[in-house]
Amino acid sequence: MKRRTLLTTALAASGAGLTLAACGAGEDPLAADPSTEDAATDALVIGSANFPENELLAEMYAQVLEASGVEVERNFGIGSREIYLRALQDGSIDLIPEYSGALLAAVSEGGVPEDVSTPEEVYEALEDALPDGLTVLEQAEAQNKDSLTVTRATAEQYGLTSIADLAPVAGQLTAGGAPEFAERYQGLVGLKEVYGVEFAGYRPLDVGGPLTVQALLDGDVQVANLFTTDSSIETNDLVVLEDPEDLFLAENVVPLISAARGNAQIAAVLNAFSETLTTEKLTEYLARVQVDKESVAEVASAYLEANPIEPAAAG
C-alpha cells in the first residue's frame, strides 16, 4: 500500500481564520462566559467533537471522573479535529475522547508509515507522534472506524463488497458525508491514491449523522461516509464496504489529554473506564441516543451503572 500522507492539521491552522462550530446558532463553544471569565477554576474542561458518539464518550468521561471526586466542566460539540486540537493546545479544553488512527494521521509528520495499521501499532506510533504538551491514556478495545457504506440495493446493482469494487463505477456515483472528508487522506484524497476511486461528485453533509443517512436512503448520494458503530447501518440494512488496503486505520477510542492537566488519579480512573469499553457496548449504548432518543447524560449514567470501574481506580 502507498504511504499515507499528512493532511492539513490543526497544528498548521491559522487561529485567526478558524470559525468554531457551535452548539447553538451563532455561539462559539470555546468563548468564555463574560460572567465567569474572571473566576479562577481548577476544573478539568472536557470537550467533544460535534457528533453523538463523541459527545456520549465525553459525558462518560465527565461522569466517571466526577464520581471519583474530580471537578469537571463540559464543553461539547466543538467541531472538527482541526479545531479541537488547537483548543487543546491553547488550553481552551483539557481532555477529549479521540480515535487512534485518525488522530495519528492528523499529527504524523511526513505521513503514517505504511506498516502501521493494527491497534497496537497505531497506538505506539501515536505516542511518538503527538506534539509536546499532549498525551494519550490507555486505549479501549472499542473501535469506531470510518467507512464507505451503501444501501443493499446499490451493493447488489454494482456488485459491491469492498472499496476496491468502487473503482470502475465511482464515476457514476455521488458520495456524501462530513465536509472535511473531502480534504482528508482518510477520505477522498486517500480513496483516489490507494484505490483509484473518484466519484462523480461529493456532497458535504454532516459528520456521520442523520443528514448523511437520509441522503443515502433518499438516493441523493449513493455512497456515504458513516461510522461503523452507527445504529442506522443495522436498522436500515446498509452494507459497509470492506477496506482491504487498510486506508481507514484502527480507530480505538482513546483519551487525549493535556499533559499539564493530567495526574495519576485522572489516569487511573479513565484507564479503568477504558477497560470496560468494547465496540459491542459502544454500539449498544449509542443506539439508545440515536434510535431511542435518550439524552447522552442518561445513557452515560446507565452505562456506568452497568459497567462500574474498580473502587481502587475511583478512589
**181 forms bridges with which residues in the sheet?**
none
Residue 22 above 50 pLDDT?
A: no
- Kindly give, in sequence order, each residue whose CB lies less than 8 Å from that of residue 313, ignoring residues fewer than 6 positions away: 68, 268, 269, 271, 272, 273
Q: What are phi and psi of 145, to 5 degrees?
A: -95, 150
State the pLDDT confidence band at 288, using cuts at 50, 70 and 90.
very high
The rounded percent of the chain whose pLDDT value lies above 90 is 73
pTM, full prediction: 0.74
Residue among 141, 164, 161 nearest 1 (CA): 164
Question: What are the tens digits of pLDDT across the range 74-109?
Answer: 999 998 888 999 999 999 999 999 999 999 989 998
Nine cell digits for residue 220: 441523493
State the pLDDT confidence band at 13, using cuts at 50, 70 and 90.
very low
Secondary structure of the chain: what % helix, strand, coil (to 5)?
A: 45, 15, 45
- pLDDT value of position 313: 62
The rounded percent of the chain whose pLDDT value lies above 70 is 85
- Kindly give, in sequence order, each residue whose CB lies less than 8 Å from that of residue 246, ignoring residues fewer than 6 positions away: 1, 117
- CA 97 to CA 53: how far, in whole Å? 10
Q: Is 299 helix (H, G, I), strand (E, B) or coil?
A: helix
- Kindly give, in sequence order, each residue whose CB lies less than 8 Å from that of residue 174, ignoring residues fewer than 6 positions away: 199, 200, 201, 202, 203, 220, 221, 222, 223
What angle do the packed helices 100-107 and 81-90 form, to 10 degrees? 70
- Least confident piece of the model among 21-25, 79-83, 103-107, 139-143: 21-25
- CA 278 to CA 141: how far, in whole Å? 5
* Helices and strands in the chain: count of H runs, count of E runs: 12, 10
| Residue 105 contacts residue 247 (beta carbons within 8 Å) | no
Domains of the chain, earliest start first = 10-143+252-314 (3.40.190.10), 146-240 (3.40.190.120)
| Residue 252 contacts residue 142 (beta carbons within 8 Å) | yes
Q: Is 116 helix (H, G, I), strand (E, B) or coil?
A: coil
